[in-house]
Every structure is written in structure tokens, then in C-alpha cells.
């Protein structure tokens, strides 16, 4: 949610007072397709919810780390986690 709010505020600043917002005011990386690991999540119904959520969470953490060039503090902030919380999740999901 914070990331969306920051994107909107950034777009408003870039557009200027009274201007109409357009695609050029938003970060093109924000419109990326979801990682391949997230496609067809509940297709088979054979996977336990806990396993699916762990896979999704790990994938989102990896993607956020990539977007933030591996900076864990910034990644934690953007994901709405404490740094310690991010470290615990990384250890639990074996994210390097």
C-alpha cells in the first residue's frame, strides 16, 4: 500500500500543479507482470494453502530484493516489514 501511495505522490510531483496524470508520470517497473512462480497459483488445488503462501511470499521477497538492488533495509521498508522481520522470512523461505 505504501508503494502505491509513493508512486501516486511521485506522479503528482512530476506532473506539476493542475496537470493531468499520464503514463509518463509513473514508474514503468510498477507495471511489470507478476513473476512466473505466481502464475496459476490455485490451478490444481493439490497444494496446501500454507505451501502456496510460502511460495508466493518468497517470490515477492525475491522480486523486491531485485528491485532494490539487494538493499535489505529498503526492501523491508517497501514491503512494510521491519528489517528483522524480513531477515526471519528470508531464513524461513531460504531466500539468499
Give tens-digit pLDDT for 29-78: 555 555 665 566 655 566 677 887 888 899 899 999 999 999 999 999 99
Q: Residue 18 domain-assigned?
A: yes
Q: Count of domains in the chain?
A: 1
Domain that residue 87 falls in: 2-27+47-92
Q: Structure pTM?
A: 0.56
- Alpha helices, H only, the chain: 2-15, 49-67, 72-79, 83-92
Q: Give the torsion sign (CA, 10, 12, 17, 20).
A: positive
**What's the CA gap between 79 and 89, in Å, rounded?**
12
Q: Residue 8 domain-assigned?
A: yes
Which is more confident, 68 or 25?
A: 68
**What is the per-residue pLDDT for 13?**
79
**What's the CA gap between 90 and 96, in Å, rounded?**
7
CATH number at residue 76: 1.10.10.60
Amino acid at each position: 500500500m505504501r508503494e502505491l501511495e509513493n508512486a501516486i505522490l511521485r506522479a503528482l510531483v512530476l506532473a506539476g500543479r493542475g496537470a493531468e496524470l499520464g503514463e509518463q508520470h509513473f514508474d514503468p517497473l510498477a507495471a511489470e507482470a507478476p513473476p512466473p512462480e505466481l502464475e496459476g497459483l490455485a490451478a490444481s488445488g493439490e497444494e496446501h494453502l500454507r505451501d502456496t503462501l510460502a511460495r508466493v511470499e518468497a517470490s515477492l521477497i525475491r522480486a523486491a530484493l531485485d528491485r532494490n538492488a539487494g538493499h535489505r533495509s529498503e526492501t523491508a521498508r517497501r514491503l512494510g516489514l521491519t528489517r528483522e522481520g524480513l531477515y526471519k522470512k528470508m531464513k524461513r523461505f531460504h531466500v539468499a
